[in-house]
Structure 1
Amino acid sequence: MVEGIGTAGVVGGGIGGLAAAIALRAAGWDVTVYERAPQFTEVGAGITLAANALHALDLLGVGAAVRAGTLEDRRGYARNQRGRILVDARISDFTGGLVALHRADLIAILAEAVPADSVRTGTRVVGVHADGRIETDGDTEQYDLVVGADGINSVVRGHLWPDSGPVHRTGIAAWRWVLDMPAPDPVGVILGRHGEAGVVPIAGDRTYVFTAGRPGITDLDYFTDYPDPLPKLIAATDRSTVVTDELLEIDVPRHLWKGRAVLIGDAAHAMRPTLGRAPAWPWRMR
């Protein structure tokens, strides 16, 4: 389908949608990105990129800008809820390096690589057809390829894969936020009996913090008895800046293409973050 020059409509202006638009344009496609929000934003906090993601961004031509967020080498740990060190490692142990930055910064880098005249912000897609038609509130356009990159509640999946099943609630609550302060030691993850947390240094001398608890844990204060520095970081946090949501999943359709349409990202395979591909890391167990 992607041989030669054609027209492509990308539904969704998140990380996956913008990356797809950049790749398609580089291959000679005439691309239009549909984004419902009036401007590119990313709901979320931090994101950590390992070698596989960085290689993909290099191929898109934005790797150098993203690598400005490469973390300085320092020790990091996996600890249990009592503070016992389970894994002792350094950032340099990650094969190919490690970059951590705010999701909004990654979105900005990707958006900069897509010409403004290729983007329709503030545009709501209301219908998608397997023959390549995209309907919005204002008109209908025909494309050779439609890319559904519009997230877990995908309009594209809902129209073309109506039998793929509903979004599944896991009951797992998650809290994510960024503090405008350098990450204190120790950094890394804390693996508790009923929850987990992480403290990650990110670009700009900021700190990304995340927590998630089993079904039934509904209050961030549950984590205030976790090992330092997590309690201090929670105490220093403006709760209004914390992104609070529930982890969701979908049943992945047997085929991620139908006619001229294809699904990518969360629209295709939304899953728990713990199922993400891990980088090569020579762990030193204790």
Structure 2
Amino acid sequence: MPQRTALVIGGGIGGLTAAVALDRRGWRVTVLERAAALEPVGAGIGLAPNAQRALDTLDVGDAVRAMASWQLAGEIRRPDGRLLARTDNAAAVRRYGGPVVLAHRADVIALLAARLPGDAVRTGAPAALVDPGDPLREDRPARVRTTGPDGAPQELTADLVVAADGIRSATRRALFPAHPAPRYAGFTAWRFVVSAADAAGLADPGTAHETWGPGGLWGTLPLHDGRIYAYATAAVPPGGDRAGGDRRVELQRRFGHWHRPVPQLLAAADPAAVLRNDVYAAAAPPPAFHRGRVALLGDAVHPMTPNLGQGGCQAVEDAVVLAHEAGPDAPLAAALAAYTRQRLPRTMAVVRRSGRIGRLSTWRSRPACALRGALVAATARLAPDLALRGLDGIADWQPPGAP
């Protein structure tokens, strides 16, 4: 039997995980990445134990866990610094069998790309689906239009196309044109990373915190190499920067009076490196996660708010499940149907759960925020692992075939 071929549209974490997983299952894989290099747009990423177990099937999990700060504590605070709840990675290990790893996206991308054949990734290669093909007909492969190495238009065929082309997925629109587009979640997110040299002394390297205030929140996450990943969200109308070229201006206006180290991190941030993105989430479950010979993956099919830190984790799960079903001798139509059957209900449940937490973060009135803080503090006294409980049924997931 000739070797089966797969095209992966998108070289982010989900797309590269799918490429590695399919390569290990005997597929000849080509990744088509629009950007000129595998330099991910983004900053930090949290990889919970469910994603780590998925990566274990690709022998990447240990390398990811090597980035973990095993003694890392996590706190929820008020803008004045008052502690509301506290947990740590030891609690995550007890509850879910592993720590929550905070990593830089570029580090994870590099780990995955290193496990692919040298010619598997083509950068500067935007891709558009021409025909999804028919998995029941050998003479109907999927067809994708891209740019060849010489810059000329090129059409490629494949037995399988994996669309990991992000929240504005053109592939999703082509497959399901009547499906509603992702909707604005009601808030915008800012993200940046402070270098280890600039971060020295600004925050406790053993403590991450998330601080909830009126209409927004702030997070400070120390990375394993001394850098600090910081993020913020605020309930604002979608569409554009209000601060011109320096995005710190709006952040300083909103968060500059919050507790240490928020003002200090803002002062240390490189204005050109601050990312600002309106947050969108799936408006409704799609009809399926596949059509023809095409499988949708990650944000292309189940975009979610970042409040559970599961966007990338669910994409990693998608990739591993898809490759597991699409084994060397598995009929592709049955494999894709099994992929949809397993992934659609799980990921949509995570979308809904994350969205509920996101809506809590947009509360503005002082009485509502005071009530929220009091409930968090009271529950934390009775249930010390409160901050982890939102991941029950999520972080304890096991990949298919796990013992």
Q: Which runs of 5+ in 2 are unaligned?
A: 134-141, 148-152, 243-249, 311-349, 354-379, 388-403
Name stretches of at least 5 consecutive residues in structure 1 with no aligned partner: none
> Please, which of 356, 369, 384 is the counterpart of residue 283 of structure 1?
384
Q: What amino acid does structure 2 have at the position aligned with 1:255?
A: A
Describe the superposition over 1:138-159 as per-residue Cα deviations: whole angstroms up to 9, x where unpaired: 2222211111101011121122
Cα distance in 2 for partners of 1:118, 1:284 equals 43
TM-superposed CA distance for 1:272, in Å, is: 0.8
The yes-or-no answer on 1:48 pairing with 2:58 is no
Larger radius of gyration, structure 1 or 2? Answer: 2
What SS does structure 2 have at the residue aligned with 1:61?
coil
SS at match of 1:142: strand
SS at match of 1:116: coil
Query: In structure 2, what is the equivalent of residue 134 of structure 1?
Result: 144
Is the aligned partner of 1:21 residue 2:45? no
What does the per-residue CA deviation read over 1:211-241, in whole Å, with 9 as the maximum and x for residues that have no partner?
Answer: 0011259621201122221121112222211
Give every structure 1 segment of 4 or more consecutive aligned residues whose post-TM-superposition deviation is greater than 4 Å: none
Q: Percent same amino acid at aligned positions?
A: 39
Structure 2 residue 181 is matched with structure 1 residue 150: no
Matched, 1:259 2:360: no
Residue of structure 2 in register with 1:184 after alignment: 203
Kindly state the Cα deviation for residue 208 of structure 1 after the two structures are TM-superposed. 0.7
- The residue number in structure 1 matching 2:107 is 105
Q: Secondary structure at the match of 1:60?
A: coil
Higher strand share: 1
Q: For residue 223 of structure 1, what is the amino acid of its counterpart?
A: F
Which residue of 115, 118, 140 corresponds with 2:117?
115
Tell me, yes or no, if the aligned pair for 2:70 and 2:99 is still in contact at 8 Å. no
- The structure whose residues are more often helix, as a share, is 2
| Residues 1:285 and 1:260: Cα distance change in structure 2 (over 3 Å) | closer
Q: Check whether the contact 2:19–2:29 (CA below 8 A) recurs between aligned residues.
A: yes
Any idea what SS the aligned residue of 1:151 has? coil
Equivalent in 209, 220, 234 of residue 251 of structure 2: 220
- Give the 3-state SS of the residue equivalent to 2:20 in structure 1: helix
| 1:172 lines up with 2:187 in the alignment | yes
What is the CA distance between 1:187 and its match in structure 2? 2.8
Letter in 1 for 2:231: F
Whether 1:206 aligns to 2:233 is no
- Separation (CA, whole Å) in 2 of partners of 1:193 and 1:65: 39
The CA RMSD over aligned residues, in Å, is 2.4
Deviation at 1:178, TM superposition (A): 0.7
Q: CA deviation at 1:90?
A: 2.0
C-alpha distance in structure 1 between counterparts of 2:186 and 2:385, whole Å: 33
In 2: Cα distance, 1:33 partner to 1:74 partner: 35
The yes-or-no answer on 1:236 pairing with 2:246 is no
Q: d(CA) in 2 for partners of 1:72 and 1:231?
A: 27
Contact kept in structure 1, 2:33 and 2:123, CA below 8 Å: yes
Q: How many residues align?
A: 282
> 2:182–2:303: 8 Å Cα contact kept in structure 1?
no
Residue 169 of structure 1, CA deviation:
2.8
One-letter identity of the residue aligned with 1:200 = L
Q: Does the 8 Å CA contact 1:129/1:159 hold for their aligned counterparts?
A: no
Partner of residue 30, structure 1: 28
